[in-house]
Amino acid sequence: MKRILIASLILSLGVLLAYGFSDITVHQPVSASKPVQKKDSLASVKAFEKVYTVLMSPRCLNCHPSGDVPLQGDDSHIHEMLPQRGKDGKGVFAMKCSNCHQPSNTPGLHAPPGNSNWHLPPADMKMVFQGKTAHQLAKQLVDRKQNGNKSMKKLREHADDALVLWGWAPGEGRTLPPLSHAEFKQQWQIWIDNGAYAPLEKTK
């Protein structure tokens, strides 16, 4: 019996030597998958509460009105020229945003602000900020049917959009948002990266 076992081992070794090891599949141990990053809902909500102060500032709010006429000034009054949103958010007929709003700010106190892409959100995606609670606005911002069909990645990148950046260089006589752009961007990303949670509605 012992001789048979030894003979079998010798035969097996001979086969390996004859055909080589190339056809032998070596199974490597499966490495542990990367741990899933935990979302911190409290950090997310806290960050959005800071973001919300910027979104409610005139520099953001004035171009996200509840109606079809933009707001104006630090007190967010109805635009004195009464321009209309229009289908693409750039005005109607001969009254286009670009008539007064040039590619850059017009020099002078309270002169027309400018950006090459000055506009309101389009009629089919109004993205209203005015009158929204922090809970409502947070929910709206992550809803692709209401945010311009932006994915979370695109939403994250939106903090560096040229028209967003204008809010921190609005021209003479206009107040800046309550956070610096760097602070806003940091809080924006903390909110998104931790799950984009909406603050609870405050009970009256």
User: For residue 204, what pLDDT is reported?
Assistant: 65
The pLDDT, as a whole number, for residue 61 is 98
Q: How buried is 19 (Cβ within 10 angstroms: 0-12 exposed, 13-18 middle, 19+ buried)? A: exposed
Give 73: exposed, middle or buried? Use CB within 10 Å, 0-12, 13-18, 19+.
Answer: middle
CA dist 46 and 198 (Å) reads 10
Helix axes 41-55, 181-193, angle to 10 degrees: 140
Residue at 60: amino acid letter: C
Whole-number pLDDT of residue 202: 82
Domain ranges of the chain: 39-193
- Find where tokens 């001969």 sit: 94
**pLDDT at residue number 105:** 97
Q: Does the pTM exceed 0.85?
A: no
Give the model's pLDDT for residue 44: 98
> Mean pLDDT per segment of 10 residues, for the chain of length 204 residues?
46 41 39 61 98 98 98 97 97 96 96 96 97 98 96 97 97 97 98 97 79
